[in-house]
Structures are given as C-alpha cells and as structure tokens.
Amino acid sequence: TDYGSSLTVSLPAALQPHQPFQIIVRYTTADGPAIWWLDPELTYGNAKPFVFTQGHSVCNRSFFPCFDTPAVKCTYSATVKAPAGIQVLMSATQSTYLEEEGVYQFYMEYPVPAYLVALVAGDLIHADIGPRSRVWAEPCLLPTAISKLSGMVERWLTAAESLYGPYIWGRYDIVFLPPSFPIVAMENPCLTFIISSILESDEFLIIDVIHEVAHSWFGNAVTNATWEEMWLSEGLATYAQRRITTETYVGAAFTCLETAFRLDALHRQMKLLGEDNPVSKLQVKLEPGVNPSNLMNLFTYEKGYCFVYYLSQLCGDPRHFDSFLRAYIEKYKFTSVVAQDLLDAFLNYFPELKEQCVESKAGLEFERWLNATGPPLAEPDLSQGSSLTRPVETLFKLWTTEPLDSAAAASSVDLTKWRTFQTVLFLDRLLDGSPLPHEVIKKLSECYSSQLDSMNAEIRIRWLQIVVRNDYYPDLYKVRRFLENQMSRMYTIPLYEDLCTGTLKSFALEIFYQTQNQLHPNLRKTIQQILSQGLNPLPAIDTTAVTTDTPAMVLEDKVSEATNGAISLRDVNVSA
C-alpha cells in the first residue's frame, strides 16, 4: 500500500481508434518509497531541508500517476514551486525559473520510462566542469566535487561517443546527494544522482560515474522492456563502462583489476545464494507482488557483462562489436527491447556468425546463457591485469599459508602504494577467509591498521568487517568511531549485519542508541530490523527519532531575512 493503488480509467465508448484524448488526474502524494525528505541535520551543511526522489525500479508510482513499467516511454513536463533559497533540479532537457513566483518549470523532450523521472531540491550550488557538464552539491562539498571531476566527464563522454554514437541528452550534469541516498548512483538522464560519500574514494567515484555515463546509451536511450531482463541495461552498461575506462584511464590493466574485484564479489554472492538459485538467471521470473528491486544483484551486472563480453569475443575484434552496438543504439533509441531483439540484431549484423550457428554452440547456447542458474558460462581473460592482481594474490598467500611468516608478509608490499581496487580485493579475500587464526589477525593489525586508518571508506569498512568477524577487540574502538561518523546505508548496514551475526550485538545496540538521531528514518528502521533478529523486541526507543511517520518538517527559513515564517519542503507542489 505504500506504493499507492492502481487507477483504471474507462474510456468513452464513442472514442474512435487512434483518436487523441486527454486525461487529467488530480492527486496528492506525501510519504512514499520514491520520496525522501531530510531534515537539515541529515545534510552535510546542516542548514536547510532537502528532498530527493528515487524512482528505480517501481517507486515512482508513489510520486505521480504513471504507467510504471520500463516498456512505456513518454516525454514529461513539470512545474515545481519551492521556498526561496531552495534550488530545484529535475532529470529534464529544459528548465526555467520564475524568481518572483518561486516556480521552476521543466520539460523532458525525449521519451523516457517513468523510473527515470527524478527531482532533487535543497541547498545546492553548481560549477561548470566541462562544455556540457556541471556538478551540483552542497556548498561545503562543491570544491571537492570540482577537484575530482573537472575536465573528466567531457573526456568520458567523448570516448563514449566515439564508441557508441552521439550523446543524445544535451547536458550531462551530476548532483551529489546527502549520505541518506539509498544507493550509490542513479543514471537519471541529464542529471546523474551520486551519493556524496563516494567522493573520498577516487577509483570508485571514477568507475561509478563512467558506469552512469554508459547508461546514457544502455538503459536510458535503449531500455529493457521488462524488469525480468535488467541485464539488458546493467550488463551492457557495465561492458560499455569497461570499454570507456580502457580507452580513457590507464589502459586494460586497471579495467582487468576492477573486473577481477567485481567477479570475486559475484562468486561470493553465489556461495551465499547457492548455484541453483533462480535469481542467478539473466531472464529471472518475477512473481506477482515481488518488487523488481529485490532482484537487483551482481548477476544482473556481472553475469550480464560476461554474456556481453562473450558476444564481443565472437566478433574477433572488440571494435567490430562497438560498431554493432552503435547500430543497435541507432535502431532502438527511445524504445524498450527484450533480449531477443538484441540477439536478433547481433546475428543480423554478423551474418557469418549466424551461418556458424554460434547461438547454438554446445555449452554456450544463447538460451542457456539466459536461463541457466549459476555462474557465467564463460568469463573474460583478465591476464592483462596480472601486473596489478598478482601482487594481491601473493600477499594473500603469505598471510594465509601456515606457518605464518609475518615478517616476510609485512615487508613484501607497501599498501600505501597500491591502487584502491588492489587493497579492497586483498581485504575482501581476507574477509572470505575469516575467522582467521588469532595470531594472523593480530599481526595484520600491527602491520596495516594504522595505514588503513588514513585511507578511504571503501578500504576502512572492509578492514573493520575483518575486525568484527574475528572478534578482534583491540580495534573495536575504530568500529565505533567509524559508525559514529557515518550516515550512509552502504557504510553502516554491512557492519551492523556482521556485528549482529557474531558475539557483538550488545556493542552494536549501544552504538545504534548513541547515533540513531543522525540516521535517516528509513535507515534506522533497517538497522532496527537487523538488531531485532533473534532477540526479543528491542527496548522502547524515542519514537520521535525512529518512526517513519514523522510529522511534516517545519523549519526556520534561514535563507531570507524577509520571511520570518516557517518553510516546509513538504509544501513543494509538483505537477507532472
């Protein structure tokens, strides 16, 4: 019921086939899965309220009346009224602002599926970082965003255009959102949403932005017609992301390292789910009432990527496959497709492969790729990344081979000289091997703990998960310190899950009670559910801090001395 209810409109019997008609729906929406309201305390600046929407996969039906399926695309316009000092942005190609009325008007001139309609409003300022790109962020974050991305986005767009054809959306802007944003990034056309927390992790930031750039072609221009085939967007976007990365960012070695890291994660997920789990299919079956977002997993991305990579290898030269994808985009842009459309287009583009019946090659049949459970039928050759992955494998063996020679392990590598993806790959493998012998975890802490303290959050959270899974009490204070300073789902949930799986649940409860007020209500609720597993109901907690049915945010307007009344972003009027 949070998502609303379906609306059936009976058309007049006298309506002729293909006769144009107009439907007007008057509606009100408040709290729904698509709309995230933030008090100023949940932003970085702590000055003004904030709101953003997240439509993927089927949340936007709680935002405005729509055909909430990727099979249907349309243009849209919207009028948004907001208080003075609040900047409003939408995923649209055109916008105007009537300052006297406080009204923004937006228009998306190209057809998009409902899930790509997005809105954000808050204390946002911008800076140009290229001829068709700018970054939006809270004032305290903007200098960092500029320093990380200035000149880079245009480089990635140009590389993508050389591979897959013209960028059709006009502008490519990026808005950095507060840590309450529930995912890492979202490819809303013209306006990519990215969580601000990722700014400190340079390599993850680069890969995430390039992935969203790739979605401008794969996902936004050509869309999967059904959520049962999300790999058509995510698998192709991941392939394109890695082609763009190879072209623009230090060549194939880094791309192979990033791919090895992701495929490691895929196999880790497979061990958890089991090889026969139906969600590991590329064509997964959606049962009635199941939220498609529940099927978003690494198979969608990495198994999909492996299939696309396999298709590219059938061509012999990846540039030939680039040419096919350019033709595929040109043929299907602004439409939605199914897997058979892609595969038919592929075989028609390469008639010699069709004559060879590559779609029926024993053990690698296209049908088997789509409908078999388990790991990818083939994985890419990552040997070009061995200069970066081999040191990781060597160090991991030194630390996990008995008897432990900690002196040799400690002196073999200086982690501060490694790339982020090398360090996280090493730590992930230690995590897979946990719990480790006490002597090993003790020596690991002595060698690396202080170094890791100064590294980015993607690295630190992995070390802290190792600390928790090994019950290594001397470093537990670092877990507390980390959670006291994190408001992001991606950096809190994994630690709370590990704390509650082992013997440290009371420690987790203590931290949660101390930090709950700095967390978004949705995140508080998720952590409460984790803490409640296997326990009696949690002790009563201040309901004004935890309930998701909090009253409307009525806040002092710090923007304009002329307005002494209160403002509420829940009073923003949106008509779409």
> Binding-site residues for Zn(2+), please?
211, 215, 234
* Phi, psi angle pair for 261, to nearest 5°: -60, -45
Structure tokens at 416: 């501060």
Assigned token pair, 329: 């985009």
| Catalytic (active site) residue 301 | yes
- Report yes or no: 79 and 344 within 8 Å, Cβ to Cβ: no
Active-site hit among 164, 249, 301, 305? 301
Those residues with Cβ within 8 angstroms of residue 274's Cβ, 6 or more apart along the chain or in another chain? none
d(CA 346, CA 325) in angstroms, rounded, equals 9
The active-site residue, picked from 138, 187, 212, 302, is: 212
Dihedrals φ, ψ of 319, to 5°?
-70, -30
- Could you list the residues known to form a binding site, using ranges: 211, 215, 234
What is the CB-side half-sphere exposure of residue 425 using CA atoms within 13 A?
23
- To the query of whether residue 448 is one of the catalytic residues in this protein, the response is no
CB within 8 A of 447, min separation 6: which ones? 406, 409, 410
Question: What is the Cα–Cα distance from 74 to 576, expressed in whole angstroms?
Answer: 12
Structure tokens that stand for 197 in this block: 């927390």
Cβ neighbors of 140 (< 8 A, separation 6 or more) are 44, 45
For residue 425, give the amino acid letter. Answer: L
Residue 34 to residue 380: CA distance in whole angstroms: 37
Rg of the chain over Cα atoms, rounded to whole angstroms, equals: 25
Residue type, 115: Y
- Contacts by 492-497, CB closer than 8 A, 24 or more apart: 492/519, 492/523, 492/527, 493/523, 493/526, 493/527, 493/530, 494/461, 494/465, 495/461, 495/464, 495/465, 495/468, 496/527, 496/530, 496/531, 497/530
In DSSP terms, 177 is beta-bridged to 195
Per the CB < 8 A criterion, the answer to whether 33 and 2 are in contact is yes
- Beta strands in 99-210, from DSSP E residues, in sequence order: 103-113, 119-122, 125-130, 133-137, 173-177, 185-186, 191-195
HSE-up of residue 150 (Cα within 13 Å, Cβ side): 9
Phi first, then psi, for residue 494 (nearest 5°) are -60, -40
Residue 164 · residue 329 · CB < 8 Å: yes
Cβ-proximal residues to 435 (8 Å cutoff; 6+ apart), any chain: 441, 469, 470, 471
Q: How far is CA 335 from CA 128, 164, 364, in A?
A: 31, 16, 29
Residues marked as catalytic: 212, 301
